[in-house]
Amino acid sequence: MATGTETTTRARLRWGLLDVLVVVFALVPVLWIASLSFKTPATITDGNFIPQEWTLDNYRTIFDTDQFVRALINSIGIALIATLIAVVLGAMAAYAISRLDFPGKGLLVGVSLLIAMFPQVSLVSPLFEIERQLGLFDTWPGLILPYITFALPLAIYTLSAFFKQIPWDLEKAAKMDGATQGQAFRRVIAPLAAPGLFTTAILVFIFCWNDFLFAISLTSTERSRTVPAALSFFTGASQFEDPTGAICAAAVVITVPIILFVLFFQRRIVSGLTSGAVKG
Amino acid sequence: MSINATPTGADTAVEETERHATVPAQRGSRRKAPLSENKKAERKLGWLLCAPAALVMVAVTAYPIIYSVWLSLQRFDLRFPDERQFIGLENYVTVLTNEFWWTAFGVTMLITVVTVAVELVLGMGLAIIMHRTLVGRGLVRTSALIPYGIVTVVAAFSWRYAWTPGTGYLADLFSDGAPLTERASSLAIIMLAEIWKTTPFMALLLMAGLALVPEDLLKAASTDGATAWQKFTKVMLPVMKPAILVALLFRTLDAFRVFDNIFVLTAGGNETSSVSMLAYNNLIRGLNLGIGSTMSVLIFITVAIIAFVFVKLFGTAAPGSDDGERR
């Protein structure tokens, strides 16, 4: 765009400044809650952005309580199971959508689109009642089911976008070279599809990990309450003198996986979200 | 999420020929000719593969929403289960003549309109930065993904403590009182939290559209002496229109569901409840399934109307409208 070294340097500087702006905007709230989690009870209300005295006590406190540890196990277990099932079901449907010709395909795509736009709160009342009757209320499956449902559209779209980019002719070529159907799938198609599946799994996991509305409506005890829901019960609980430090430490703990995903798989996440968005 | 963005301008011709070339080959089976064994098997496999996903989606959404309509026609308070009876549309009258409902509706609309408008502008800026920056592209994209990925409740707590007098770094900076105890400032903070969290998502959807803008077209515009603003409005925006509409639709419907931030920031105090918050309170706190379900149904209808208006207003550019054709 720019010609000559001087303008290039200036352009780079301008972009650099904009970059810094974005980074600060994105990171300040995260750094703030991390900072609070390292503050001592005496300094937590001093309003300083950087802790004056550092401590790990808040982390020790939460990992010593059943309330948080149970919630963390619930969060991890529920999100992993829901992700696994959603990706498997999504992959089956996406394969059919991108590879096969059958009536009703458009309908399926339309239904998933509708569900992607569905107001989740509309399901809270009926699911609350239905799950109570079925004995699913306050259980892992009681949360896993709605998570799968709302993750499926995301999984189907992202995966069909990925599947459409796979050179499927390679499968035929492998078979012509004497590979069996199974071998062709294992050796040729699976390695090509793996990145797409992995990316989709990350997006779905983030979605399940994030949910609050279902988590707080369809659970009532530590049995299945996930961390986001449990966090709001730390507030004013007699267990902690001042819950601020504990809440922040717990918040940081459940942010760590997100930060790791973003750091290591930025490219994948971006391509997953953008390819699902436009190419469909 | 899915739209077959048909680029206007230079690309269209190419796209069209490609489509015509490939479609008949795939579509052959639709002809009236008797289905070959192969085609029958393909159909069966297609249905078989889609069945589990379709079944789960329908079972967990369609059935409950119908059940919800049924519940909304009853007096059904879990604290007084004996008084359960069919009362027709009485619950709807109760809700629709209730000022709390309309206050919450107004709040939800305000939050939706303001946040989506601000996010469109900021998201466009962020998309351009992420797409075109000459330095640190990876860094910018990675940072932008953090608000997208972070748990909303976590971010909400961060904002809440930031605005708590004494504890927070923002509270003392901007106000003398406690901003989260006054209506106007609470709403502003809720919107700030929403915008921070979801602008990156908007930006990513817009960036997908930005990637469709042909580089040659921009160069040609530059050669013809177009200013940066002209390039943006005359070249980029028209090509990006489908992506913008998808982003707007998704964010609008998502914004209308606002719940997490309000729950943590104000718990709906000082008339800052959204409709989702109100429905939740009636259900879980009030244990009134009848009224809660009525609100659920009303929210569902509102969302359907918004989606319908989008599709009507923007016609073929809206998502879904083209899906059946090409798949």
Structural domains in chain A, CATH included, are 1-55 (no CATH), 66-278 (1.10.3720.10)
Over 60: is that where the pLDDT of A279 sits? Answer: no
B288 part of a folded domain: yes
Confidence category of residue A5, pLDDT binned at 50, 70, 90: low
Q: How far apart are CA B266 and CA B284, in angstroms?
A: 17
Q: What is the C-alpha to C-alpha distance for residues B145 and B204, in angstroms, rounded to an integer?
A: 9
Residues of A whose CB is below 8 A from B26: 101
Contacts of B298 (CB under 8 A, 6+ apart): B92, B95, B96, B275
- B292: closest CA of chain A, how far (Å): 6
Please say if the pLDDT value at position B16 is more than 80: no
Distances (CA, A) of B8 to B13, B114, B120, B239: 9, 30, 21, 6
Rounded average pLDDT over B187-209: 93
Note the pLDDT of residue B255. Answer: 92
Cβ contact B157–A248 (<8 Å) = yes
What pLDDT sits at residue A228?
92
Residue B79 burial class via C-beta count within 10 angstroms: exposed 0-12, middle 13-18, buried 19 and up: exposed
User: What does pLDDT average to over chain A?
Assistant: 86
Contact: B53, A108; criterion CB under 8 Å: yes
The pTM assigned to this predicted structure is 0.86
Q: Is the pLDDT of residue B188 over 70?
A: yes
Q: What's the distance, CA B76 to chain centroid?
A: 32
**Shortest alpha-carbon distance between residue B226 and chain A (Å):** 13
Token pair listed for B116 = 């989506």
Contacts for A188 with CB less than 8 Å, ≥ 6 apart: A170, A171, A174, A179
Neighbours of B193 (CB within 10 A): 26
pLDDT band at B322 (very low <50, low <70, confident <90, very high): very low
CA distances B243 to A209, B209, B217, Å, are: 27, 5, 18
Nearest CA distance, A177 vs chain B (angstrom): 23
Q: For residue B34, what pLDDT band results from cuts at 50, 70 and 90?
A: low
Task: Return d(Cα A149, Cα B55) in angstroms, integer.
Answer: 10
Instruction: Say yes or no for a CB contact (<8 Å) between A277 and B205.
Output: yes
Three-state secondary structure call for residue B117: helix
From the list A25, A108, A145, which residue is nearest B54 (CB)?
Answer: A108
Check CB contact under 8 Å for A106 and B300. Answer: no
Could A96 and B46 be called an inter-chain contact, meaning their C-beta atoms sit closer than 8 Å?
yes
Residues of A in contact with B149 (CB under 8 A): 206, 258-259, 261-262, 269
pLDDT at B168 over 90: no
Q: What is the pLDDT of residue B106?
A: 94
Q: Provide the CA B15 distance to its chain's centre, in angstroms.
A: 29
Tell me which chain B residue has its CA closest to the CA of residue A87. Answer: B53
A63 pLDDT higher than 70: yes
pLDDT of residue B33: 58
CB contacts of B45 in chain A (<8 Å) are 96, 100, 102
Q: What is the mean predicted confidence (pLDDT) over A212-224?
A: 90
Residue B27 lies in a domain: no
| B136 located within any domain | yes
Residue B48 resides in a domain: no
pLDDT at B25: 43
pLDDT one-digit tens code per residue, B106-125: 999 999 999 999 999 999 99
Check B140 against A23: CB less than 8 A apart.
yes
Q: Which chain B residues are Cβ-neighbours of A146 within 8 angstroms?
A: 60
- Count structural domains, chain B: 1
**What is each CA distance from B161 to A25, A46, A112, in whole angstroms?**
17, 12, 38
Q: What span, in angstroms and rounded, lies between the C-alpha atoms of A200 and B190?
A: 30
pLDDT reported for residue A50: 86
Residue A123 host element (H or E): helix A121-134
A12 band by pLDDT with thresholds 50, 70 and 90: confident
**How high is the mean pLDDT of chain B?**
82
Nearest to A274 among B140, B207, B299 (CB): B207
Q: Tell me if B326 is assigned to some domain.
A: no
Residues B141/A22, Cβ–Cβ less than 8 Å? no
Nearest to B158 among A26, A29, A217 (CB): A29
Look at residue A42 and tell me whether its pLDDT is greater than 90: no
Q: What region, left, alpha or beta, does residue B213 occupy, with left being phi > 0 and alpha being psi -120 to 50 degrees? A: beta
Report H helices in B73-136. Answer: 90-96, 99-132
Residue B28 has pLDDT above 50, yes or no: no
Residues of A in contact with B53 (CB under 8 A): 89-90, 92-93, 108, 112, 152, 156
Contact between B270 and B289 (Cβ < 8 Å): no
Distance CA B323, CA B327 (A): 6
Q: Model confidence over B265-280: pLDDT tens digits?
A: 988 888 889 999 999 9
Residue A221 has φ and ψ, to the nearest 5°, of -140, 180
Give the long-range contacts of residues B294-297, CB within 8 A, separation 24 or more.
B294/B72, B294/B91, B294/B92, B294/B94, B294/B95, B295/A125, B295/B95, B295/B101, B296/A121, B296/A122, B296/A123, B296/A124, B296/A125, B296/A126, B296/B65, B296/B68, B296/B72, B297/A122, B297/B65, B297/B68, B297/B69, B297/B72
CATH of the domain at B317: 1.10.3720.10
DSSP state of A220: -
Which neighbouring-strand residues pair with B288?
A: B77
Between chain A and chain B, how many beta carbons pairs sit less than 8 Å apart? Answer: 342
Beta carbons of A128 and B284 less than 8 Å apart: yes
**ipTM confidence score:** 0.89
Tell me which H or E stretch contains B75: strand B74-75
Contact B47 A104 (CB under 8 A): yes
3-state helix, strand, coil in chain B (%, to 5): 75, 0, 20
Q: How confident is the model at residue A114 (pLDDT cuts 50, 70, 90)?
A: confident
**Dist. CA B71–CA B88, nearest whole Å:** 10
Contact B54 A118 (CB under 8 A): no
Q: Is B30 a member of any domain? A: no
pLDDT reading at B20 higher than 70: no
- Using a CB-CB cut-off of 8 Å, the residues of chain B touching A277 are 1-3, 204-205, 208, 243, 246-247
Looking at the domain assignment, is residue B144 inside a domain? yes
Tokens of B131: 């797409």
Q: How confident is the model at residue B9 (pLDDT cuts 50, 70, 90)?
A: very low
| Residue B316 belongs to domain spanning | 100-321
pLDDT at B126: 94
Looking at the domain assignment, is residue B53 inside a domain? Answer: no
Residues B66-105: pLDDT tens digits? 988 988 898 888 888 777 888 888 889 888 988 899 999 9
Contacts of A206 in chain B (CB under 8 A): 149
Q: Which two tokens stand for residue A152?
A: 């499926």
Among B109-118, B163-172, B241-250, B281-290, which is the least confidently predicted range? Answer: B163-172
Q: Residue B60 is nearest to which of A1, A16, A146, comparing CB atoms?
A: A146
What band does A116 get if pLDDT is binned at 50, 70 and 90?
confident
B290 CA: distance to closest CA in chain A (Å):
9
Phi and psi angles of residue B170, each rounded to the nearest 5 degrees, phi first = -95, -30
Question: Is the Cβ pair B61, A251 closer than 8 Å?
Answer: no
pLDDT, tens digit (0-9, with 9 covering 90-100), for B255-266: 999 999 999 998
Residues of A in contact with B46 (CB under 8 A): 96, 100-102, 104-105
